Structure 1
Amino acid sequence: MNLLKDLPELKKAGVITQETADNIQAYYKSKNGSSTNRLLIVFGVLGAVLVGLGIMLIVAHNWDELSRGTKTIVAFLPLLTGQLLCGYVLIKRLNSVTWRESATSFLFFSIGASIALVSQIYNIPGGTGSFLLTWMLLCFPLIYLMRSSITSLLFISGITYYASHQSYWSYPSSDSYLYWLLLLGVLPHYYQLYMKKPESNYMIFHNWMIPLSVVISLGTVAKETEELMFIAYFSLFGLLFLIGNLDFFTQQKSRNNGYKILGSLGTIALLLILSFNGFWENLRKEHFLLREVIVAPEFIASALTSLLVGAVVYLQYKNKALNEYMPIAGFFILFILIFILGFFSPMAVILINSYVLALGTLIISNGAKKDHLGIVNYGLLVITALVICRFFDTNLSFVLRGIMFVSVGTGFFVANYWMLKKRNSNG
């Protein structure tokens, strides 16, 4: 802002022209305006939600004293109010993001509240799963009718909760395959954000919500052969990592790249889990029948994710040199081979541990080449996590365990000292 104050002096001294000064003023004005708009949207949405919740609490205080007819009117009142607000926005305020998102958020929660209240008033049977599904189906058109990204994010949260409730938290569990169809319905809106507002906060939130939702919901397909889901998840994390490595995402800040972060952390977490021998011992005791496995939903999920990530690997690396290949992205191929080997040999756990060690070393090497302390320390953390896992998993003596920790700690110190010294010498 000090630059704006200096504009008259700069023009007088002939440093800049009047046109340049006008462009600078217009730039700062648009920058401040966009910040103000973001705040208005946030407070507008929060205000709409809080008003709706406040009204519900006030009504709830006197709920038992109301007649059934009055209760019905009260149940539909928020819904009617939300529809009128959205109608007003469509006619008068369609280009106002603040009005559009606030009104649609209010209507989103009003729909859920009305369904719940009417069900309670008239004792309509139904569980949480059917309630969530009905709510999400009724709210889905709002995403496109109102062009509402907040509703899209709420919708993704809702269908993720629906899938989790149906398959994780209900006994006996029921199928939640509708989740995948509902998620596909959001993707056109996501694509529109990518085309029109690629740098917006809504795009960033979707970059996190969509992969996180898929990671949470993929496990819902597991039934009888849960062990196969490790293949599906390794392929999924490889796919997420590859998506996050596209030019569009690599040009953004790292914290905005939910695909790459989830893909990398997910792969490392699974590798560390499988670095213990217990899983492989249990796997060797299993007896799978081929005719049953190939029709199992876990096998279908594993096959689809593996084929999908394989196609993406081919498209991304077909014209690149071997040294540009990222080990995390293609580990799904190696893991399938290791998984098959694990049915017959204890070598599988040794290969997993070796891969984690090699991966940590490669990450450190990559960070050193890029002169990036964060990447170097990430690689050291991977190796540290492996050492901690082996601390609890083996019968090593305390002396040898101590030497392992001292070695890794020394590695942290040496790597960071060397990187800082290199930066100072180059500076």
Structure 2
Amino acid sequence: MSVQRDIPELLKAGIITPDTAEKIRQYYKSKDGSSSNRLFLAFGILGALLIGLGIILIIAHNWDELSTNTKTFFSFLPLVIAQIICAFVLVRKPTNKVWKESATTFLIFAIGACNSLISQIYHISGDLSSFLLIWLLLSLPLIYIMKSSMGALLYVMGITYYVMELRYFSYLNSDSHYYWLLLLAVLPQYFILFKKQPKSNFLIIENWLIPLSLTIALATVTSDSGSLIFIAYFSLFGLLYIIGNNSFFIDKSLRNNPYKVIGSIGTLILLFMASFQGFWTDLNGEKYSFGNLITTGEFWASLVISAGALLYLYKQQKGRSFRELPPFSIIFLLFIPIFILGYFSQIPVILINLIILVLSILTITEGARRGNLGILNFGLSIITVWIIIRFINSDLSFIIRGLLLMVIGLGFFIANYLMLKRRKKND
């Protein structure tokens, strides 16, 4: 570090004391050590993956020439080796994160390889979803026994692919209720990591994976009343955005605040979808009885998620003024009555477009008030996308469309120029 090289010069000039110089050296030494540990951990996990893949490839090369017993032996060999390594880590290196994460990664892939090979050797029938479910259930205990964050990340990715295989890739569209139980099983590890290692890189990745997994899986609860899922999604994105504004995430950068990013972008995508006339025309043609409605998964998903989002919003805003309420956090509440109104009229399309316009203006105003170029440009981007969408569905000539786009671009330039000018003036 350049600071450490400058320490002797600073000491000689009398700017810092020897005691301060030593504290500076120790501080940067700890930072360098932390970076080295992270790098070593990454290479350790990568090494475990490569070793496991190497063993599988070597065996696969001579697979057809092996007897059934030999094939079985080699199928279990990586699994036994991985278990021995994990036992060694638990006994001799229980606090070494590199060993724990690498050994757990190796064992998880060894479980999958063994399961697959044994099924192939003895012609055990089954589909991919069943294979994934067995693999996930066998891997789940490792997350808690080894206290492995990498194991949790692989597990979350696994259950996400599992639910996609059930409902997106399978022609049978099997019931996906096991996904929710599998997700609940990993949440204790997530909260433990949240409490004990709030600055962990693993936590940052898990913060992205879990809401993305929920977003993908929520659509799998749909049945006969598919349109109701839009209420559930609006409420889910509203809940994610509200979580992203809690005391833990509020001051973090967008890279470290996936709840806010996914919540706001998801809400905007849904608003733009609902801004088209066709969305409400299709909805207006659907007729359901209340008795059939309450038996559907999307009804209960909408009810539970909306109630959860409302309770969390109330808890977060309790004691605060209405002006402090982030506009994105109440969109899900506005959408529920608008959605119900959509069964009887086409007025909601006007209301949704009005919400988009107001939301963009409030975001631009907030960015200008706080002197934040990111928020300002985000608001400008919302209104730009909205105008472009309206252009696509209008009968305006290309010349008028081009002129309006030029006006929007000029608006971007002027807004940013005035913001930067004000910043310089304040400095």
Q: TM-score, normalised by structure 2?
A: 0.97
Are positions 1:43 and 2:43 aligned together?
yes
Offset from partner CA, 1:368-416 (integer Å, 9 cap, x none)? 1111111111111111111121122233444553454233222212211
User: What SS class does the counterpart of residue 173 from structure 2 fall into?
Assistant: coil
Secondary structure of 2:78's aligned partner: helix
What SS is found at the alignment partner of 1:184?
Answer: helix
Write the deviation string for residues 63-93 of structure 1: whole angstroms up to 9, x where unpaired.
Answer: 1111111110111011001101101100111
Task: Please state whether the residue corresponding to 1:252 is helix, strand or coil.
Answer: coil
Partner Cα separation in structure 2 for residue 3 and residue 171 of structure 1: 62
Matched residue, 2:244: 244
Amino acid at match of 1:84: I
Secondary structure, aligned partner of 1:384: helix
Pairwise mapping of residues 17-32 of structure 1 onto structure 2 (< 5 A)? 17-32=17-32
Question: What is residue 342 of structure 2 aligned with on the other side?
Answer: 342
Most deviating of 202-211 and 397-406: 397-406
Q: How does 1:173-188 map to 2 (within 5 A)?
A: 173-188=173-188
2:132 corresponding residue in structure 1: 132
Residues in 1 aligned to 2:12 and 2:399: alpha-carbon distance in whole angstroms? 75
Give the match for residue 156 of structure 2: 156
Look up the match of 2:15.
Answer: 15
Corresponding letter in the other structure for 1:57: L
CA distance in 1, matches of 2:362, 2:9: 54
Corresponding position of 1:100: 100
Are the counterparts in 2 of residues 383 and 408 from structure 1 also a CA contact under 8 Å?
no
Residue type at the aligned position of 1:343: Y
The whole-number CA distance in structure 2 between the counterparts of 1:421 and 1:6 is 36
**Corresponding residue number in structure 2 for 1:420:** 420
Number of residue equivalences:
427
SS at match of 1:175: coil
AA paired with 2:281? E
5+ unaligned residues in a row in structure 1: which ranges? none
Residue 202 of structure 2 corresponds to 202
Give the match for residue 91 of structure 2: 91
- 1:358-369 counterparts in 2 under 5 A? 358-369=358-369
Look up the match of 1:306.
Answer: 306
C-alpha distance in 1 between matches for 2:389 and 2:3: 55
2 CA distance for matches of 1:158 and 1:19? 51
AA partner of residue 242 (structure 2): L
Does the 8 A contact of 1:276 with 1:389 survive in 2? Answer: no
User: What is the Cα deviation at residue 251 of structure 1?
Assistant: 2.3
Question: Could you tell me how far 1:36 is from its partner in structure 2?
Answer: 0.3
Question: Could you tell me how far apart the structure 2 residues matched to 1:390 and 1:317 are?
Answer: 35
Match of 1:234 in 2: 234
Which deviates the most, 233-242 or 7-16? 7-16
Structure 1 position 200, deviation (Å): 1.2
Structure 1, 276-285 or 408-417: larger mean CA deviation: 408-417
* Pairing 1:267-282 to 2, within 5 Å after superposition: 267-282=267-282
Report the more deviating stretch, 402-411 or 289-298: 402-411
Aligned to 2:357: 357
Task: Map Cα deviations across residues 227-277 of structure 1 (whole Å, 9 max, x no partner).
Answer: 000000000000000001111112222211110000000000110111111
Give distance in 2, aligned partners of 1:121 and 1:177. Answer: 31
**Matched residue, 1:189:** 189
Q: 1 CA distance for matches of 2:406 and 2:282?
A: 33
* Distance in 2 between residues matched to 1:220 and 1:153, nearest whole Å: 21
Structure 1 letter corresponding to 2:221: V
After superposition, residues 40-119 of structure 1 pair within 5 angstroms as: 40-119=40-119
Matches of residues 252-263 of structure 1 in structure 2 within 5 Å? Answer: 252-263=252-263
Instruction: Tell which deviates more after alignment, 68-77 or 399-408.
Output: 399-408
Shift of 1:12: 4.7
Distance apart, 1:323 and its partner CA: 0.6
* Correspondences of 1:371-410 after superposition (within 5 Å): 371-398=371-398, 400-410=400-410
Structure 1 range deviating more: 18-27 or 5-14: 5-14
AA aligned to 2:134 is T
- Structure 1 counterpart SS, 2:16: coil
- How does the TM-score come out when normalised to structure 1? 0.97
Aligned to 1:318: 318
Cα deviation for residue 17 of structure 1 reads 3.1
Matched AA of 2:421: K
Counterpart Cα distance in 1 of 2:109 and 2:181: 22
Equivalent position amino acid for 1:214 in 2: L
**Percent identity of paired positions between Structure 1 and Structure 2:** 52
Which segment drifts farther, 255-264 or 50-59? 50-59
Deviations 1:188-211 (A, max 9, x none): 111111221101101111111111
**Cα deviation 1:85-144 (Å, max 9, x = unaligned):** 101100111111111100110001000000000000001011111100100000001111
Q: Which amino acid aligns with 2:105?
A: S
| 2:146 pairs with 1:171 | no
2:247 is matched by which residue type in structure 1?
D
Quick check: 1:82–1:103 contact (8 Å CA) kept in 2? yes
Determine helix, strand or coil for the equivalent of 1:223.
coil
How far apart are the structure 2 equivalents of 1:408 and 1:59?
A: 61
Residues in 2 aligned to 1:176 and 1:65: alpha-carbon distance in whole angstroms: 40
Alpha-carbon separation, structure 1, partners of 2:10 and 2:166 = 66
Amino acid at match of 1:265: I
